[in-house]
Structure formats: C-alpha cells, structure tokens
Amino acid sequence: MAENATTQTAVVKSVIGPQYPQTTVLGVNQNHNGGSGRRSSTLKTPTTTATESHARRMSGSNLGQGPDSSISSMKWSASDFVVGRPLGRGKFGNVYLARESRTSKSVALKVIFKNSLTGGKSFNLLRREVEIQIRLRHPHILRLYGYFHDPKSCFLVLEWASGGELYKHLKALPENRLEESLAAQYMRQVALAVQYLHACHVIHRDIKPENLLLAGDLPPSAAPATASSHGRRSSGSTGVGAAGVLPADHVLKLCDFGWAVHATPPDQHWRQTLCGTAEYLSPEMVAGKPYDRTVDVWALGILAYELLQGKTPFYVPEGENRGAVSMDRGEGREGGAGGKGVGVTAAAAVAAATEDGDMKKGREEVYARIAAYEGALTFPYPVSVEARSFVSALLVPDPQDRVSLDAALRHPWLMEEEDV
C-alpha cells in the first residue's frame, strides 16, 4: 500500500497497550502497511508473588508505575527527538541515545531500516516483538515505550540503560567472570524477570549477557584492577580482580525480544523453531524436539555458569558461537506444534543453519557437546557448594526434570541475596 500523507510526515500513533498483569488481550492494530490486521490471544492475570515484590523494592518503583508513566502515553514523530551518540549498530539498524523533547527524558531510539526487513516474515517478527515487549512492566525488563515509522524506517522508543551490556563488562575483566556474591545477585534479578515472563506465557528464547543491560553508570571503583590470588577479591580491595565486582546496587534489565514468543498452553505450549544463541541452546532444541518455556530455565543455568566461570560449559575456542541461530522447522508464524516431534537431528540443524549463513566455524562442535551432555559439570574456578547445586539443578538434560523457576528462586544460593 502506498504511503499516505500521515506516514510521509512520520506521525504515527504510539500504541501502548495495558501492561501484562492487568490485560486480558494480547493483540493491537500494528500493521505497518496501514492495514487493520488485529490479533488477539487470551491472557491470564498473574498474581504478584513475593519475588516480584522483592524486584519492585530493588528498582524503587512499582510495576507499570513511576516516572515513565507519562512518556509511555505519548504519540511521536521523528521531530520529537534530539538524537545523540550511537549506542549500537546491527544488521537491521542502529540504536542511538536520544532525548524526548517534551519531557527531556533520555531514551534509546532503535532505528530499523525497512529495506533490511525482506519479506513479510521479517515484518511479522518485528510486529510480534513490539506486541510482546510493549506490554511488559517489570523492574528487570527493559521498557518499550512506543514506536512510530516513516517511509524508510521503523523507530522503537526504548528505556535507556546507561550502564550498557553486561557482556561487555564481563569481557573487560581478566577472567571474564564475576565475584560469586554479585553473580548470585544478578541471577536473582534475571530469574525474577523470567518468572514474570512465564507468568505472562512469554518465552524469551535468547537469554545471555549480551541481552542484559545495566541501569546506571559504572563508578571509577568498578574499573578493572590487578587480580588478587585465586581470582578472588581480596579483603579491603576497592577495585575488580580476576573475579569481577561491579556495583552491587545496579539493576539488570532483560532486553531484546526479537525471539520471544507468546505461548499460551495448551494449544501453543510447544515450539519448534531453532533460535537463540548456539552456546545457550537446550538439548531438546538442538535435537529438533518440540520444547516449551523450560528452554529459558536451561539458559539461566548457562548464564549462571558463565558469570561464575567466564565461559559457557559448551564453549569451544574455534569460531564465533555467540551470534544468532535460527531455522524454521515448519512452525511458520509460530503456530502450535501440537506436541509432535519433527525428527530434526543436531547434525541436520547444523547443516541447515550453515546453508543459511547463520552458522560459523565451531558451532557443530558446540551442538555435539550439548547433545552429549549428561548432567556432569566441571568448574575450573572454585565456587561454593550452593552455587554448584544451583547451576546443576538448572542444567538438567531432560526438561521435565529441570527445577522450576519458583523452586530456583527459593534456592539457598539466591535466597542469600534476597535482602541485598
């Protein structure tokens, strides 16, 4: 459909749906071609748990309330923003630090080039990402305030997390790992966010340090320092040793919902698409079996291991294994798989991904290690018995035997950080 005068001036409604805990419908008019196409799906209203209350205390604001409530009800055009420095660049567009003119609030403005969204499926994925993230209200999930578009680009107005990616901070440390107490604190925050997502019947499918942002600037005391013995922080030290100590009062924000899916049981409980990041994929996904939200529980286990050890348990030095992986196994637009397996082997998945250009050197070995994993973990750097127990409970090959998120949040390793 041709662009009309309204879209020529980039004045498009910012559709802000009700937050997940208070809504009964998922589906908004978000056809970027100007059509109507409304999609709806019934949601249950999750109750607020004690762990969510703790997350609110850590952030200093209630779910869906606070200083962002005014900006999230606005309608925007490109002229409403003063664009500053770039925050990141990607295949489909760039992210910039920007200031919203009417409120003077700093935001992250994600600019997605329409010519990079080839075919209707790419637009559908973008629409789904917006439909999901725009309704999420949790202190450990990055806010999407709204969106607009012009003839060349789509613009997402996002919360700005000034501390940047957790992954970059990890890589700046000599051994790429955190002090155990801080790792536990961060894991609790991420687990709270995922617990909230699952209560909303949302599976993230790409949890990793690159998709965790720190809300707050790093003070000088958090800069890397000389490693103490055994990589542990020495008493009286104010810097970061081989095992890093970032600011303890920082709040993590889970972001990037490009692979997230709304999966309401029972009809859409099982998924089939191979997607996410190679080193974080679960055994059932690698084996081509239908999977459910427990893939996020597995990813939390990989994340915890990486925060403690500096690498994932299935890391291989050859090639780049942290990029996006995707292969549609007949799911189409994420329709239900009906609980039936599709018989895609790990080798076939690797071959298909390689043909699509999504697989790079070393990923076949990563998949082979995941497929061969039987539950025995090694920890090159010393960690507590509680930390080992926590990670091992999440990284169980059979998804039916993995610990639930509620039980994980009651684990002694995380409970020690509840009142931090």
| Residues of each annotated binding site | 91, 110, 114, 159-161, 210-211, 256
Residues in the chain: 420
Residue closest to 144 by CA, chosen among 162, 128, 160? 160
Identify any residues that bridge with 109 across adjacent strands, giving them in sequence order. 96, 157
| φ, ψ for residue 233, nearest 5 deg | -70, 125
Residues within the annotated binding site for ATP? Answer: 91, 110, 114, 159-161, 210-211, 256
In the numeric block, which tokens belong to residue 72? Answer: 């999230």
Residue 151: Cβ-neighbour burial (10 angstroms; 0-12, 13-18, 19+):
exposed
What is the helix, strand, coil percentage profile of the chain, to 5? 35, 20, 50
| 3-class state of residue 126 by DSSP | helix
Residue closest to 288 by CA, chosen among 204, 395, 371, 394? 371
For 222: left if phi > 0, alpha if psi spans -120 to 50, otherwise beta; the answer is: alpha
CA dihedral 393, 398, 400, 405 (to 10 degrees): 30
CA dihedral 232, 234, 240, 242 (to 10 degrees): -30
Is the bond into 266 cis (omega within 30 degrees of 0)?
yes
Neighbours of 229 (CB within 10 A): 8
Give the strand pairing for 144-149 and 153-159. Answer: antiparallel
Q: What is the DSSP letter of 232?
A: P
Residues 60, 369: Cα–Cα separation, whole Å: 42
Residues near 13 by beta carbon (within 8 Å), at least 6 away in sequence: 75, 148
Active centre residues (catalytic): 206
Residues 103, 92: Cα–Cα separation, whole Å: 28
Q: Kindly calculate the radius of gyration of the chain based on its CA atoms and give it in whole angstroms.
A: 21
